[in-house]
A = this chain, B = another copy of it.
Amino acid sequence: LPSMQTSGTKPCPCPSFKLREVASMYFTMVAVFLVILVVALQGSVPRGSDFPYKVPLDPQGLLELSWNVSYPEQAVHFQLLVRDLQFGLLFGMSDRGEFENADLAVLWSDGHNSYFGDAWSDAEGQLHMDSQQDYQLLGARRAPEGLYLLFRRAFSTCDPKDYLIEDGTVHLIYGILENPVHSLQAINISGIHRGLQRVQLLKPNITVPELPSDMKTMEITAPNVVIPSQETTYWCYMAELPDGFPKHHIIMYEPVITAGNEALVHHMEVFQCAAKFDSFPHYNGPCDSKMKPDRLNYCRHVLAAWAMGAQAFYYPEEAGLAFGGLGSSRYLRLEIHYHNPLVFKGRHDSSGIRLYYTATLRRYDAGIMELGLVYTPVMAIPPGEDTFILTGYCTDKCTQLALPAAGIRIFASQLHTHLAGRKVVTVLIRDGREQQVVNADGHYSPHFQEIRMLKEMVAVFPGDELITTCTYNTEDRSRATVGGFGILEEMCVNYVHYYPQTQLELCKSAVDPGYLHRYFNLVNRFNDEEVCTCPQVSVPQQFSSIPWNTFNRDVLRSLYGFAPISVHCNKSSAIRFPGEWEKQPLPTITERLREPIPRCPPTPGPRPAAPVPINLGELRRE
């Protein structure tokens, strides 16, 4: 049990404190009694072993965050290990990892006295004590490895200065105070050692399924890679299943991280190669190297994916992901994203993914289906947009044709866009009414693409519709961003993992090209502008010649919300189900899901509007 070290009731002289803080000291005196009382009474303070999720915050691993999620309490308990405490630290959350308009817990010390408080930063990055204290300090404990801080935060506090913790990505930010701090206001947030880490804070509460006794493991790991001394590396390594390896079910996988490299291995994926090639060259090197054989581009079928902060991935007990056997390739590609911002040199790494598989096939093969937008330039985003939304439809006609009468169960989802993506949501519609969110990430980052287990499985039946909406930001771009495979082109995809497997591999859409042509004509005529709409000019070229005034932007938005679509209801990326899929009407939605109203659960104990003194002893000056 962490011992509580919050200081007693003796008055603390704070000559260097600003008037406002001095005034609040009176209340602190009162509050201290109460805090002690709360912590003493709090039977529910979690023990150190009660934090199942862990992630290093900084590349050196000086700050290590563990946490757990209490859905009944609608709160997260944090345990922050500070390996080399100097004069305090900042920890918090913000929309996309920025230090402005952030919600922060701050531990600071003037060298003699230490304080903990809930603060916020304004649009200029200036810190302020929050009038409502929602990071609740539960304890602090010195250990040989460093200081452990324990605190609690409700998902939703209804304080407009606070971050609302939602499903999906949370951008955690940290800062290290290397000098004595005499007041919160005196912290210059731009001058400190700081950074961001993305995590899925609200992990779903999954019961681990029972594992079979004949389970075997296979490690797909890169053999002794020297991590390049550059910020970003995508490393590619080709592995191979044994000759004649029969069909198995992958039922679980987990990361294997070389000790000491926890902060460098950002994410990893294992892809299966295309069965149409008999063999693939061996390769072990950067994915963007000119030496990389082109054939590796045919290794794109995801078998496993892991990102920092993720734990082991378990398939539902009635399903497994088939690999091996006839009709599937023996070749696997491991891709590791090394994130090395401090440019460490000569680090060796043998990380990878450990697959757990069984020969006793489970009842269902799991499948992966692609929802969202077709990779085509007809879906484009004007430049300079703060928020532009593109939507891909999996229509009732397609699910009617392709799904079994008993439906499918979606149990996991991986969202995917390129660099302009900011949010991704997939919603299930039945009879024109929105039923439930399949997966949503309101703080999506293209730099953090995990396969996420859903909180609850989503059943999809023939005739249902799946609408995937991506929100983009192109404020830093001067030309239109069109759909496509390039990193500066865009995608809007949700890879949903489901069972039983069907023939439907992708269910996506794009605007009808004829209507897009009318749009180019309209822009020409309406604005007296010269946009060549001659047929020999490509769609990307036409988009790039549009003068982007508010009218042309608005009308493109309206076009995408109105024009009929071309539906790709495909067995594989090239083979459509039989039927008429061009000029299909957009699904009409008669009933939307209600926005959830944030609950503001009464937090146990008082929430003093003043920092809590905390006894850490005298802190050293470097």
Contacts and interface: CB of A to CB of B under 8 A. Distances in A.
Given A526-B522, A597-B160, A558 B550 contact: yes
Contacts of A558: 550-551, 554-555, 558
Given A158-B158, A160-B597, A549 B562 contact: yes
A518 interface: yes
Interface string A506-522: 00000000000010011
Contacts of A563: 551
Interface string A560-571: 011100000000
Nearest to A521: B525
A409 interface: no
Contacts of A479: none
A203 interface: no
Contacts of A551: 558-559, 561-563
A433 to B, nearest CB: 16
A557 interface: yes
Contacts of A559: 551
Interface in A303-347: none
Contacts of A160: 597
A550 B555 CA distance: 11
Oligomer copy total: 2
* Chain A contact residues, majority secondary structure: helix
Contacts of A525: 518, 521-522, 525
A485 to B, nearest CB: 30
Contact of A562 (B158, B554, B557): B554
A90 B364 CA distance: 59
A336 B406 CA distance: 68
A498 to B, nearest CB: 32
Contacts of A158: 158
A27 to B, nearest CB: 15
Nearest to A519: B526
B550 A561 contact: yes
Nearest to A553: B558
Nearest to A598: B160
A280 B522 CA distance: 55
A444 to B, nearest CB: 25
A557 B557 CA distance: 12
Interface in A545-602: 549-551, 554-555, 557-559, 561-563, 597
Contacts of A526: 518, 522
A27 B521 CA distance: 70
A472 B521 CA distance: 32
Contacts of A554: 554-555, 557-558, 561-562
Contacts of A561: 550-551, 554
Contacts of A518: 525-526
A555 B552 CA distance: 10
A555 B523 CA distance: 12
A401 to B, nearest CB: 27
Nearest to A588: B550
Most chain B CB neighbours (cut-off 10 Å) among A521, A549, A554: A554
Given A158-B158, A555-B555, A597-B160, A550 B522 contact: no
A518 B526 CA distance: 6
A521 B525 CA distance: 10
A501 to B, nearest CB: 37
A520 to B, nearest CB: 12
Most chain B CB neighbours (cut-off 10 Å) among A525, A558, A561: A558
Interface in A340-363: none
Nearest to A597: B160
A559 to B, nearest CB: 7
Interface string A486-519: 0000000000000000000000000000000010
A445 to B, nearest CB: 27
Contacts of A549: 562
A329 to B, nearest CB: 46
Interface in A525-545: 525-526
A397 B558 CA distance: 33
A518 B525 CA distance: 8
A589 to B, nearest CB: 12
A561 B557 CA distance: 14
A557 B550 CA distance: 11
Interface string A126-170: 000000000000000000000000000000001010000000000
A550 B526 CA distance: 19
Given A549-B562, A554-B558, 14 more contacts: A158-B158, A160-B597, A518-B526, A522-B522, A550-B558, A551-B558, A551-B559, A551-B561, A554-B555, A554-B557, A554-B561, A554-B562, A555-B555, A555-B558
22 contacts: A158-B158, A160-B597, A518-B526, A521-B525, A522-B522, A522-B525, A525-B525, A550-B558, A550-B561, A550-B562, A551-B558, A551-B559, A551-B561, A551-B562, A554-B554, A554-B555, A554-B557, A554-B558, A554-B562, A555-B555, A555-B558, A558-B558
Interface of A: 158, 160, 518, 521-522, 525-526, 549-551, 554-555, 557-559, 561-563, 597
The 5 closest A-B pairs by CB, nearest first: A554-B558, A551-B562, A550-B562, A160-B597, A551-B558
